[in-house]
Each structure stands twice: as structure tokens, then as C-alpha cells.
Amino acid sequence: MKDPVRIAITGAAGQISYSLAFRIASGDMLGKDQPVILQLLEIPPAMDALNGVVMELNDCAFPLVQDIVASDDPNVAFKDADFALLVGARPRGPGMERKDLLEANAAIFSVQGKALNDNASRDVRVLVVGNPANTNALIASCNAPDLDPGQFTAMMRLDHNRAKTQLAQKTGKHVTDVESMIVWGNHSATQYPDLAHCKVAGKPALELVERDWYETDFIPTVQQRGAAIIKARGASSAASAASAAIDHMRDWALGSDGIVSMGIPADGSYSVEPGIMYSYPVVCKDGKYEIVQGLEVDDFSRERMNATETELREERAAVEHLLG
Ligand code: NAD
Ligand code: LMR
């Protein structure tokens, strides 16, 4: 039997966590042979609800769960955490953009960055889900000077998975036939889902779909999918967000099957200068992610990659006071 790993989840009484915590507990993230200790964080008014979630987790009698800690203190919830999924933040409502949440949510991530810095395992892997995810991840990492910025990531996997499904449905194939999907930039309406390198059942995607569908249907559909779900459900995506978080962490820890998209510190690759959390194509292996280098970028792609970078720099400027 492996030693248990400590997994912190914030916003643990919220919608996303109501799927996420149970799937992690059942072994979907790190495997059916990996025992886990769940460390759940909420704010004081949500502690009763969190205790209800803990009761339900206990009632599942999950074989892999060794312990459950529920707290409203980030120093307790992040203690020795090997993985931290930062979900707790306000979701947007109809008519809002995710960056409209910056003011409401940014402060959460400076506090939690400090608490991770002071308490988490030195190898902690952090995924920020709470919106605006990329800039919140930047805030958390800037407030954790003793951790490597590369330990902080932002969730782009939901966008990546959405893009795969749109393309699979259009081409009459299965999502497992889609390879080398890339979503660049920000988890926002400026994100760029790029088909230039993508293949479906071994054939270049751009030879299988009309250019007009790509530019005027596929790209905006993926960019606006979060808003479409809010309109349809009256609440933002939850189970699909949890599933994407599990995919992201599982691949980071255990390896990816080809290219996936992750929001990570920009390092100058593809001419995106450091200082923002930008989504790149990466491959995960041996517990690490690596940017896939050398892909050709045409003028169409460059314009869109620049637009989403510009938005991230604007978001950064708005929270400069929280970057330590
Ligand atoms: P929710 O309102 O149902 O749950 C959020 C929970 O966070 C609440 O229980 C709240 O009490 C808690 N919380 C607030 N401040 C906290 C703090 N400082 N510490 C700990 N917990 C805190 O919202 P949700 O639907 O679960 O969504 C959570 C966030 O995830 C939102 O910001 C949403 O926009 C975002 N989201 C991101 C993606 C993505 O792809 N990156 C996808 C879906 C949702
Ligand atoms: C999503 O993409 O579904 C989430 O970021 C929620 C939102 O605000 O769109």
C-alpha cells in the first residue's frame, strides 16, 4: 500500500467541489492504488455546509480515504499538502466576464499563496480553478516566494476538453481520435483554441473542416462555452469543471497522453514574455510538464495569441498591488 498523499481543496462546500471531492476520493485523480487525506477549506459561514459534505464523504466509505480535515483556516487546510486545488472563489453571473471577478476574488489568492508558502509540502502542485483563474494563479504564486512559480498552474483543461468535443462532433469522430489540440492564453473569451496542429484520426483537422466553420463557429463556441452553460443552467459549469481539474492534476502527476493545455508561467516561449500565466501546449512526464516547442505560428494564430496575452497583461496591471 502506498503512503497517503494530502490533497487540499478550497471552496469545498461549493458546486464544483461537490463533484470534485468525491471523484478524488474514489481514486479518479491519482489512481485506485493511491490513498488520500482530504484537507477541505471553506469560509466560516459555509462550515455547516462543509460538515454536511464531510458526512457524505464518510458515508461513501471510500477505501482510499485515510482522513478528512475540514477547516476555515488556510494554514490548517494547506498543512503539508502535496496537491492543492484552489476552487473557492465567487463565480460570475449572466452578463459578466470572468475578469469582472478580479476585485471580488483576487485577495483570496494572495492570502492562500502565503499560506501555501508557509505550510504546504515543498513539492506541492497547485491548480487554480477560481476565476479569473490565470491571474489568480499569478497572485498566488507571487505570494509564495519560497515555492517555484512553476508549481502554480491555472486550469485551461476545460477549454481544451470543450474544443476536443466540438471538433469530434463536427467531424463525426470520437474525442479519443483528436490529438494535439491546443488552447493558448487566458481562460476567458480571448482564449485561442488552435486547430493548426490538431489531427483527427491521423488527418490534419484543418483539412477536415471548412475554414469558415473554424473561424466563425468553432473558435467563438469554445470561447463562449462557459457563458452558454451559465445561460442554460442558471449556474456556472460544475461537474465538467471538476472533471477537467481531475484531468489536469492526473496528467501532471502521472503523465499525459500527448499534448494538453495548461496555464503556466510564461517563459518567453512563443514570444510570450514572463510575468503572466499563459496557456501553452505541454506534455507531462515523470511528474513534470514541459512546453512543446517549435510549432509553427502563422499570422492568424499570432494575432490571436497576442490578443489573449494583452488581456492577461491588463489583468496583471489591475492586481499589481497584490503581487508582493
Ligand atoms: P460556488 O459559489 O458554488 O462555490 C465556491 C465556494 O467557495 C463557496 O462554497 C464559498 O463559500 C467558497 N469560498 C469563497 N471564498 C473562499 C475562501 N477565501 N476560502 C475558501 N473557500 C472560499 O462556486 P463554484 O461553482 O464551485 O465555482 C468556484 C469558482 O470556480 C468560481 O470562481 C468559478 O467561476 C470558477 N470556475 C472556473 C473554471 C475554470 O475552467 N477555470 C470552471 C468553472 C468554474
Ligand atoms: C467556465 O468556463 O465554465 C467557468 O470559467 C465558469 C464561467 O464563468 O464561465
Q: What domains are defined for the chain?
A: 5-154 (3.40.50.720), 156-320 (3.90.110.10)
Phi, psi of 286 (to 5 degrees): 55, 40
Name which of 103, 164, 177 is nearest 136 in CA terms. Answer: 103
Rounded to the nearest angstrom, the distance between the alpha carbon of 155 and the centre of ligand 2 is 11
Name which of 105, 112, 164 is nearest 130 in CA terms. Answer: 105
Q: If 0-12 CB within 10 Å is exposed, 13-18 middle and 19+ buried, where does residue 216 land?
A: exposed
Locate cell 461549493: which residue? 14
Rounded distance, CA 1 to CA 5, Å? 12
Q: Is a pLDDT exceeding 90 seen at residue 284?
A: yes
pLDDT value, residue 192: 99
Rounded distance, CA 34 to CA 26, Å? 10
Atom of ligand 2 nearest to the CA of 227: 9
What rounded mean pLDDT belongs to the chain?
97
Phi, psi of 282 (to 5 degrees): -130, 160
Annotated binding site for substrate: 92, 98, 131, 162
The answer to whether 285 and 255 have CB atoms below 8 angstroms apart is yes
Quick: pLDDT tens for 32-77.
999 999 999 999 999 999 999 999 999 999 999 999 999 999 999 9
Quick: pLDDT tens for 175-195.
999 999 999 999 999 999 999
Ligand 2 contacts CB of residue 237 (under 6 A): yes
Which of the ligands is closest to the CA of residue 110? 1
pLDDT value, residue 70: 98
DSSP bridge partners of 37 = 6, 67
Quick: pLDDT tens for 237-262.
999 999 999 999 999 999 999 999 99
DSSP bridge partners of 124 = none
Q: How large is the average pLDDT for residues 70-87?
A: 98
pLDDT value, residue 57: 99
Q: How large is the average pLDDT for residues 291-303?
A: 98
Rounded to the nearest angstrom, the distance between the alpha carbon of 56 and the centre of ligand 1 is 20
Q: Is a pLDDT exceeding 90 seen at residue 324?
A: no
Name which of 225, 215, 189, 157 is nearest 311 in CA terms. Answer: 189
Q: How large is the average pLDDT for residues 216-243?
A: 98
Q: How large is the average pLDDT for residues 279-303?
A: 98
Atom of ligand 1 nearest to the CA of 133: 41
- pLDDT bucket at 104, cuts 50 / 70 / 90: confident
- Going by alpha carbons, the residue nearest to atom 38 of ligand 1 is 129
b/e burial code for range 67-83 (CB count within 10 A of at least 16 → b): ebebbeebeebbbebbb
pTM flag (> 0.95)? yes
- pLDDT bucket at 1, cuts 50 / 70 / 90: confident
Q: How many C-beta neighbours within 10 Å does residue 156 have? A: 30
Rounded distance, CA 130 to CA 314, Å? 18
Q: How many C-beta neighbours within 10 Å does residue 303 have? A: 10
- The 3-state DSSP class for residue 128 equals strand
Q: If 0-12 CB within 10 Å is exposed, 13-18 middle and 19+ buried, where does residue 97 land?
A: middle
Pocket test for ligand 2, best of 15, 16, 86, 98 (most atoms within 8 A of CB): 98
Name which of 14, 69, 68, 19 is nearest 45 in CA terms. Answer: 14
pLDDT value, residue 26: 98
Contacts 24+ apart (CB under 8 A), 23-27: 23/242, 23/243, 23/246, 24/246, 25/57, 25/60, 25/62, 25/64, 25/65, 26/60, 26/62, 26/64, 27/64
Ligand 2 contacts CB of residue 223 (under 6 A): no
- Going by alpha carbons, the residue nearest to atom 39 of ligand 1 is 129
pLDDT value, residue 37: 99
pLDDT value, residue 177: 98
Ligand 2 contacts CB of residue 200 (under 6 A): no
Q: Is a pLDDT exceeding 90 seen at residue 93?
A: no
The answer to whether 88 and 130 have CB atoms below 8 angstroms apart is yes
